[in-house]
Amino acid sequence: MDNRSEVREFLASRRAKITPQRAGLPAYGGNRRVPGLRREEVAMLAGVSAEYYARLERGNLSGVSESVLEALARALQLDEAEHAHLFDLARAANATPRTRRSPARQRIRPGIQRLLDSMTDTAAYVRNGRLDILAANRLGRALYSPVFDDPVRPVNLARFRFLNPRARDFYPDWGESAHTTVALLRTEAGRDPYDRALTDLIGELVTRSEEFRTLWAAHNVRLHHTGVKNFRHPAVGDISLPFEAMPLPADHGLTLTAFSADPGTPARDALNLLASWAATSDQTVPAQEGDQAPAPDS
């Protein structure tokens, strides 16, 4: 992915979202030719010259100071994810040019798999930034059984969501979850623009899915640490589960996502039903048997 075009389109898309009223600027009469702020208005709010901001929005973040980036983030009212994405783009712009790299193949550490397997009342899996599921416990595999049933490896949540027709049944709120998926991939692309597996995945999805292509062009990013996910499971029906997504500090780029629920709640009843179904199903094949997913550099 070209850093200059990524910077240009990200800044322009964020500028288009901020109206003068939202920015605290006077609402002058007459027709505006842009949906949001003008470049010179962003420059004024950030305390830089219009010429300098125009250079930034042309995609050139090389040599930009942290203070200017912070001022730009305030002017564009970036949220936490957008703020981090801007700094990721700046780091990439100032890094030594690199070629796309093929990640080393990796197996999940035994300690992580033991941790997953010990979570008997919780559905859990470990993924990387490309949304490859690298490992799961029994209840996690049961919850995501339609995803694991897809023969394509590595198991990938984005590929399933956009290219497998079963996804629209499995995710009752498919539209919202699709937005989140694309935003997570866009966030990861900012963090690691030289990951060949990531750029290949994005290229495949852009080529094969019109919905993905449209969402990708919006340049939205997101952090996804906690919330509730809805499923329509083929064996146990509708399930609405709270989740926590926790980065693994010793395994760079990996995230453990766990679904749990308080006793006596409908979500807990749904997990119990899922566990009973899993106990009578064939859940013995390892998540990545014979085909480990590529992992981020250590």
CATH code for the domain in which residue 120 is found: 3.30.450.180
Which pLDDT band, with edges at 50, 70 and 90, does 33 fall under?
confident
Which pLDDT band, with edges at 50, 70 and 90, does 280 fall under?
confident
Tell me, yes or no, whether 135 lies in a domain. yes
Shared domain for 188 and 212, answered yes or no, is yes
Tell me, yes or no, whether 217 lies in a domain. yes
Shared domain for 132 and 231, answered yes or no, is yes
**pLDDT, average across residues 49-56:** 97
Shared domain for 134 and 200, answered yes or no, is yes
Boundary (domain end) residue, out of 94, 123, 143: 94
The model's pTM is 0.88
Boundary (domain end) residue, out of 94, 123, 149: 94
Shared domain for 128 and 247, answered yes or no, is yes
pLDDT at 103: 58
Residue 265 CB partners (closer than 8 Å, separation 6+) = none
Shared domain for 124 and 154, answered yes or no, is yes
Residue 167: which domain range?
110-279
131: how many CB neighbours lie within 10 A of its CB?
21
Tell me, yes or no, whether 105 lies in a domain. no
Burial class (CB in 10 A: 0-12, 13-18, 19+), 249: exposed
Shared domain for 115 and 251, answered yes or no, is yes
Tell me, yes or no, whether 146 lies in a domain. yes
pLDDT at 298: 34
Share of the chain above pLDDT 90, in %: 80
* CATH code, 19: 1.10.260.40
139 within 8 A of 122, measured Cβ to Cβ: yes
Question: How far is the CA of 68 from the CAs of 9, 63, 72, 74, 78, in angstroms?
Answer: 19, 10, 6, 10, 14
Shared domain for 225 and 129, answered yes or no, is yes
pLDDT, tens digit (0-9, with 9 covering 90-100), for 210-231: 999 999 999 999 998 999 999 9
Instruction: Please give the DSSP secondary-structure letter assigned to residue 36.
Output: S
Cα–Cα–Cα angle for 284, 286, 291, rounded to 5 degrees: 145
pLDDT at 101: 56
pLDDT, tens digit (0-9, with 9 covering 90-100), for 68-87: 999 999 999 999 999 999 99
Shared domain for 142 and 75, answered yes or no, is no
Shared domain for 54 and 189, answered yes or no, is no
pLDDT at 2: 87
Tell me, yes or no, whether 218 lies in a domain. yes
Number of structural domains (the chain) is: 2
pLDDT at 291: 44
Tell me, yes or no, whether 102 lies in a domain. no
Tell me, yes or no, whether 121 lies in a domain. yes
What's the CA gap between 245 and 136, in Å, rounded? 14
Shared domain for 204 and 56, answered yes or no, is no
pLDDT at 289: 41
Shared domain for 56 and 192, answered yes or no, is no
Shared domain for 268 and 219, answered yes or no, is yes
pLDDT at 292 over 50: no
Kind and range of the H or E element at 22? helix 20-23
